[in-house]
Chain A
Amino acid sequence: MIEKGKINPRQFSILTLLFSLGSSILIVPSALASFARQDGWLSAVLGVAVGTLLLAFYRALAARHPDQSLVEYTQALLGTWLGKLAGFLFFLYFFILSALVLRNVGDFLTTIVMPETPIQVVHCVMLGAILIGVALGLEVIARAAEIFLPWVCALLVVLVVFLLPQIETSRIQPVFESGTKAVIHGSLSVLSIPYLEMVVFLMVFPYASKQQRAASAFIKGGLLGGFVIIVITLLCIFVLGWDFTARHTFPSYTLAKKIQIGEFLQRIEVLVAIIWFVTIFFKLGLTFYAALLGLAQLLGLSTYRPLIVPCGMVLLMMSVIVYPNIVYFRHFASQTWPLYALTMGFVLPLLIWSVSLFRSPAGTASENRPPV
């Protein structure tokens, strides 16, 4: 195996939680509110419910191949050429996802916090941290996640508690005005932004110790992340109103700006923005790690380390050219990304799962390793 580290179930659930929050709490509330208006939170609930089913499917797929990663068993099941093609599609998905997530950080910082800094500089700094993390390996990323989790939790509590005085319940009324179709349409964005991207974890599953417990930790982390997304969406609608939420690209940041306790505790939004940086760091780190590991397994290399800097450079360039402006991205994220994510995160894994049902009974699949 390329990666020698092992992560325990606790670390696995923390990684899942941070992954499901990264970039989705920044972008998703706006997409939800623009589709389902004040019923955006219902969309979030529906999306999280379907997303949890999806995680259960990933667990079933991973359980059939406990000691191989997604790219490895794709090659074992579909044969060399077809398997390599499918594996390459997964690699591209992970890579494009990394570029998009990196660009989210850059957009966020350059539009809101540091408008005069060139976006490339922000990308370089973030990417530097990511490359070091990936070079140190999965175990280090997982331990760092354990260290950063209390900070994320504390800041989330600060965000929620300090906004409680500003809640106006009349803003979510009338409930269910937008209708079933709009709620379903909105739920696609929650489903696609954290949940269908969690196919990344299928690359990490073989490195979890105590697979059974890790698999339930995976679902637990995903559910907790979903819960946070629902709470943030509800808060956005309660405090900002649906129209304001839909107009802003980063409504949860605007939400943090609204914190005002008396005349002394205000403008703490950049402190709260630490949540976004930490969660995005882990999301980007894991996705890029999965992309590198997948590429190394596709090419039959003994280590992914020589690929880190070259792929990092391509990623830096990709993140700058991946979309021309933020309006384009918002349109893309709500119209096309759900379909692309559905293909790569559900249709293709489903195909692989059905092939694996067909080819071998559970448990013996790992014996069909390709001659490397």
Chain B
Amino acid sequence: MVWFALFAAGCVVRFQYVGLYRQKKRRELAASAAILCFALALFIVRSLQIPLPDPLEWISAIYGPLSKLVSQALD
């Protein structure tokens, strides 16, 4: 997985970023590169078997009390 991600990232840098750099689209370049670094970090952390937090857990934590209320009201 991580090699695949690195390969994809390499392709993006080679084929997209060179063009963006020449067109002086700095803002696009910065945004895209930041997300790319984040993605690579995710892949590397995952490949080191470090458990990542799951986002649904946070949503469940926020809506937990409300969800209990709804279940009680409609049961």
Contacts and interface: CB of A to CB of B under 8 A. Distances in A.
Contact of B39 (A124, A302, A310, A335): A310
Given A184-B74, A323-B56, A336-B59, A313 B9 contact: yes
A124 B9 CA distance: 15
A157 interface: no
A313 B43 contact: yes
Nearest to B5: A313
A350 interface: no
Nearest to A333: B56
B54 A322 contact: yes
Contacts of B33: 310
Interface in B8-43: 8-9, 11-12, 16-17, 20, 25, 27-29, 31-33, 35-36, 38-40, 42-43
A317 interface: yes
B1 interface: yes
A314 interface: yes
A314 B55 contact: no
A309 B16 contact: yes
Contacts of B63: 336, 339-340
Nearest to A318: B55
A306 interface: yes
B36 A310 contact: yes
Nearest to A35: B74
Nearest to A329: B56
A339 B70 contact: yes
Contacts of B75: 181, 185
Interface in A147-199: 181-182, 184-185, 188
A80 interface: no
B31 A182 contact: no
A139 to B, nearest CB: 21
Contact of A307 (B31, B67, B70): B31
B55 A335 contact: no
Contact of B16 (A124, A181, A306): A306
Interface string A286-326: 00000000000001111101110111011001101111100
Interface in A87-127: 96, 120, 124
Contacts of A307: 31-32, 35
Choose among A181, A313, A332, A335 the residue with the greatest number of B CB atoms under 10 Å from its CB: A313
B12 A309 contact: yes
B52 interface: yes
Given A321-B54, A332-B56, A120 B1 contact: yes
A300 B31 CA distance: 10
B71 interface: yes
Interface string A337-372: 011100000000000000000000000000000000
A44 to B, nearest CB: 16
A313 B60 contact: no
A230 B40 CA distance: 43
A270 to B, nearest CB: 27
Contacts of B32: 306-307, 310
Contacts of A311: 35, 39
Given A301-B28, A339-B63, 8 more contacts: A120-B1, A306-B17, A306-B31, A307-B31, A309-B12, A310-B33, A314-B39, A322-B56
21 contacts: A96-B56, A185-B75, A300-B27, A302-B28, A306-B20, A306-B25, A306-B29, A307-B32, A309-B12, A309-B36, A310-B12, A310-B33, A310-B36, A311-B35, A313-B39, A314-B39, A321-B46, A322-B56, A332-B56, A336-B63, A338-B70
Interface of A: 96, 120, 124, 181-182, 184-185, 188, 299-303, 305-307, 309-311, 313-314, 317-318, 320-324, 328, 332, 335-336, 338-340
Q: What 8 A-B pairs have minimum CB-CB distances, sorted nearest first? A: A313-B39, A306-B32, A310-B35, A185-B74, A310-B36, A317-B42, A339-B63, A314-B39
